[in-house]
Amino acid sequence: SRPRSDERRASLLQAATRVISANGLAAASTSVIAQEAGVSNGSLFVYFETKSALLTELYVALKKEMGDAAVAGLPSTGDPRERLHRMWVQWLAWATSNPDKRRALAQLEAADDITEQTHALVRESQRDMAALVELSRAGGALAGLPISFALTITSAIADATMDLLIRDPHGPAERGEAAFDAVWRVLAG
């Protein structure tokens, strides 16, 4: 057997991102993904044992990339609102700079192939984001509720904002700031 290439693996993940973004998860067969990557369907299975393994790896990679971009360079101390705002701006910037990745990630969020174990792995990798949300809600109405609830609300507002900004990139610039103000009011009260 031939040695595996990191470049080919990355090419397959990029192809899967493009196919899922353009056509949806249901139309993202392994043969279509392989064709998009310029390899045979059999070659895809050299790198990913199953389609589910491919989707799981793509989901984890995209969530990690998004989370890393959101918290890049954030100070570990300081005003929680300012830190959360910076995270928000960086989170939106990642999504609007990577619309295919954002659309693919939205599809993968609801995929049956993504197990609870995988979601837990991703949550662990995004603990810095969660810690900042936790700190931000300390004095607000959500303080006594599970952190998962606060994260779900924050993510829902972020997802809606990202999708709007991607669909209409030339709309009013204030939309991202208005959405952040809503998140802050929900979290901090």
The CATH number of the domain holding residue 37 is 1.10.10.60
116-134: pLDDT as tens digits: 999 999 998 899 999 999 9
Burial annotation 38-57 (CB, 10 A radius, 16+ → b, else e): ebeeeebebbbeebeebbbb
The stretch 150-162 carries a mean pLDDT of 95
Q: What is the CATH number of the domain that holds 81?
A: 1.10.357.10
The stretch 109-114 carries a mean pLDDT of 92
Q: What is the pLDDT of residue 74?
A: 95
How many angstroms separate the CA atoms of 143 and 65, rounded?
28
Q: What is the pLDDT of residue 189?
A: 87
Contact 153/186 with Cβ under 8 angstroms?
Answer: yes
Q: Is the pLDDT of residue 35 over 90?
A: yes
Residue 70's Cβ-count burial label (10 Å; 0-12, 13-18, 19+) is buried
* Structural domain boundaries, residue 1: 1-48
Same domain, 94 and 127: yes
DSSP-derived letter for residue 3 is: P
Contact 47/4 with Cβ under 8 angstroms?
Answer: yes
Q: Is the pLDDT of residue 3 over 80?
A: no
Domain count, the chain: 2
DSSP-derived letter for residue 24 is: -
Contact 95/175 with Cβ under 8 angstroms?
Answer: no
Q: What is the pLDDT of residue 124?
A: 87
The stretch 132-153 carries a mean pLDDT of 93
Same domain, 90 and 20: no
Percent of the chain with pLDDT over 90: 89
- Mean pLDDT over the full length of the chain: 94
The stretch 6-31 carries a mean pLDDT of 96
- Give the C-alpha distances (Å, rounded to integers) separating 91 from 107, 114, 120: 18, 22, 20
Confidence of residue 1 (pLDDT cuts 50, 70, 90): low
CA neighbor of 98 nearest in space, from 58, 143, 66 = 66
